Amino acid sequence: MAVKVLIADDEKQLADSLSYAFRREGYLVLTAYEGKAALEIIMEKKPDLVILDISMPRMTGYEILKEIQGVYDLGVMLLTARNDIVDKVIGLELGADDYITKPFDMREVLARAAALVRRLNKGQQETLLSWGVEINERNRTTILKGEVLELTPKEFELLFLLMRHENQVFSREALLDQIWGMDYEGGERTVDLHVQRLRKKLGQIGEAALQTVYRVGYKWAGERREKL
């Protein structure tokens, strides 16, 4: 699945150039031209990577970092016109993963972004275990109480996403975007059907763990202490 990147910069021409370059490299690109909009996109769309300008109106890059630190699992590359070591240290201490100074070569930005994505992917947990369900991202296997479950590719991606973000509620729209992609023309009923199939395959655990949040969407609930 394509990596989702947010380009956040108040210099519209630069932001559009970055968006075009990342799109050509196969990324799913989101764009914001001011800080508040950037934070809203992060909260709603959950990008994998953010290219974030420090000096934006309504909310600075530093303020955005403070809001997302420890909450959202994403990579952040800061952009700035200032080459002050203090600015770099502040950004890195607030959780940024990389830092690049304007003006820059577009090839360097793309190369460093790709390296950051590889580093983040390498550090991700490959095997998740909850409610007796063990799911392995690398091998794309799902085991329930010692037995292998036969899941379709989309069922696997949906289950892995929900289990990886335990107790986080995803709207149907968000799940469509992240699993099927923004260009998918099917409706939200697609998500409901896949959830129904997963519950059936997971049996009693599926009913308990894969929960519907009324009028919002779905979540994978944290494991209970008592046995089923």
72 and 139 within one domain = no
Q: What length does the chain have?
A: 228
118 and 131 within one domain = no
14 and 53 within one domain = yes
Q: Which domain holds residue 42?
A: 4-123
Q: Is the pTM of this model over 0.85?
A: no
136 and 29 within one domain = no
Instruction: Give the Cβ contact number of residue 207 at 10 Å.
Output: 12
Element (H, E) at 197: helix 189-202
Q: Distance of CA 180 to CAs 65, 115, 124, 184, 199, Å?
A: 28, 25, 21, 6, 19
166 and 99 within one domain = no
51 and 32 within one domain = yes
Element (H, E) at 219: strand 217-220
Query: In CATH, what number is assigned to the domain containing residue 11?
Result: 3.40.50.2300
pLDDT, tens digit only, all 228 positions of the chain? 578 999 999 999 999 999 999 999 989 999 999 999 999 999 888 899 999 999 999 999 999 999 887 667 789 999 988 777 777 788 888 888 898 999 899 999 999 998 888 877 765 556 889 999 999 887 789 999 889 999 999 999 999 989 988 888 888 888 887 788 756 666 788 999 999 999 999 999 999 999 999 888 999 998 754 333
Residue 87 forms part of a structural domain: yes
